[in-house]
């Protein structure tokens, strides 16, 4: 809001006495400078609410809005100044942006094999996760009830703590699990296509 606009909002008696260099003119100039940051923030509000265009520190706030804070370091809860220590999740701020964008779809599929696979692929940016329900768990090929096996691509080993945290949070509470990585998969065996859209 510029000075001319503020002046038009003043009562007539003030407008008649308004002169350059007067105390009233100084107050109006101060009002303009005080309102400027708020106006800029309001003008950029749509950008700040978009996971694609928001500042990095605001993406963390958006993650809290969509219930992804359980994957953020606890240091952020205690002291926001810890944000300078690095990415809020192991796979980086870009992956957190993707998780925030995908949160509605991921919430819809939560507790399912499909939802778990989509969450893991979105969080790590690596394709090739599979969730096996009713997989044999011993040499006699006995199926353990309420047990899942997550087969993770070799590249996901770098994010093991994140993968484990996601599996523990997104699986049904009564389900046990195991995460298996290939022993020595070559890069040629790993899928390299882009992530599919989340429906």
Tens-digit pLDDT profile for residues 118-136:
999 999 999 999 999 887 7
Among 50-64, 76-90, 113-127, 163-177, name the one with the lowest average pLDDT: 76-90
Q: What is the average per-residue pLDDT within 100-112?
A: 94
Model confidence at 189: pLDDT above 80: no
Query: What pLDDT shows up at residue 16?
Result: 86
CA–CA dist 179, 151 (Å, integer): 6
pLDDT of amino acid 84: 46
Q: What is the pLDDT of residue 99?
A: 95
pLDDT digit string, tens, across residues 2-57: 888 888 888 888 888 888 888 888 998 999 999 988 888 888 888 888 999 988 88
Spatial separation of the C-alpha atoms in residues 197 and 127, rounded to whole Å: 12
Measured between alpha carbons, how far is residue 57 from residues 78, 90, 135 in Å? 15, 16, 42
According to DSSP, the residues that pair with 150 across neighbouring strands are: 131, 179
| Cα dihedral 106, 146, 159, 196 sign | negative
Query: In DSSP terms, which residues pair with 148 in a beta bridge?
Result: 133, 177
Q: Is the pTM of this model over 0.85?
A: no
């Amino acid at each position: 809001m510029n000075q001319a606009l503020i002046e038009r909002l003043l009562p007539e008696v003030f407008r008649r006495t308004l002169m350059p260099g007067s105390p009233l003119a100084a107050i109006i100039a101060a009002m303009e400078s005080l309102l400027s940051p708020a106006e800029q923030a309001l003008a950029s509000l749509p950008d700040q609410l978009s996971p694609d265009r928001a500042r990095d520190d605001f993406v963390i706030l958006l993650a809290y809005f969509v219930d992804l804070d359980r994957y953020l370091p606890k240091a952020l809860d205690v002291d926001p100044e810890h944000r300078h220590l690095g990415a809020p999740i192991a796979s980086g701020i870009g992956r957190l942006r993707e998780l925030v964008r995908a949160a509605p779809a991921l919430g819809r599929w939560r507790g399912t094999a499909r939802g778990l696979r989509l969450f893991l692929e979105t969080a790590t940016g690596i394709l090739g996760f599979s969730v096996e329900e009713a997989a044999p768990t011993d040499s006699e090929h006995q199926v353990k009830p309420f047990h899942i096996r997550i087969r993770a691509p070799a590249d996901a080993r770098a994010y093991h703590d994140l993968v484990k945290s996601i599996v523990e949070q997104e699986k049904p509470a009564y389900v046990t699990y195991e995460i298996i990585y290939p022993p020595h998969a070559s890069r040629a065996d790993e899928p390299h296509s882009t992530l599919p859209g989340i429906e």
